[in-house]
Amino acid sequence: MKALDTPILLGLLQGSARLKDQLRRLRGIEFATTEANLLELAYLNSSASAKTRGERLAALTRLRQRITVLPIDARATEEATKRVASATTSRSPLVTAMLGALEAYGCDELLTDQPELFGGTWRFKIRKVTF
């Protein structure tokens, strides 16, 4: 399972042809994100003009239906807490919880445009995607 970070999801929602092409090459792979990432997208949508807010919300709803959405739950929190307790991460609590969800639910890779933001020791790989 490949996890998509918020900027990657935003690129998809904005119709990046280059990004869509890169993801098509991974045909047959399950894509996931977390509730935290979708919360970030909803927050970004709230600052949009009233005219486009409804369209963006509909696009976000369609995206939610097409990929696996991992919860920030007890399993995710437990994995994140292990990293905090052993000082293998120094990220914000929400980002650490997101990473904990990826760990807890078996993601093998996080696709992001800023891998340097995700330090720490995780079982999944972090791959830079440009678009």
**In the predicted structure, residue 11 carries a pLDDT above the cut 80:** yes
What is the pLDDT at residue 56? 86
Average pLDDT of the chain is 90
What is the pLDDT at residue 25? 93
What is the pLDDT at residue 104? 97
Q: What is the pLDDT of residues 68-100, one digit of tens each?
A: 999 999 999 999 988 887 766 667 888 999 999
**In the predicted structure, residue 43 carries a pLDDT above the cut 80:** yes
CATH top-level class of 2-70+106-128:
alpha beta
Q: pTM for this one?
A: 0.90
Q: Which of 34, 31, 10, 17 is nearest to 95 (CA)?
A: 34
Provide the residue ranges of all domains of the chain, joining segments of one domain with +. Answer: 2-70+106-128
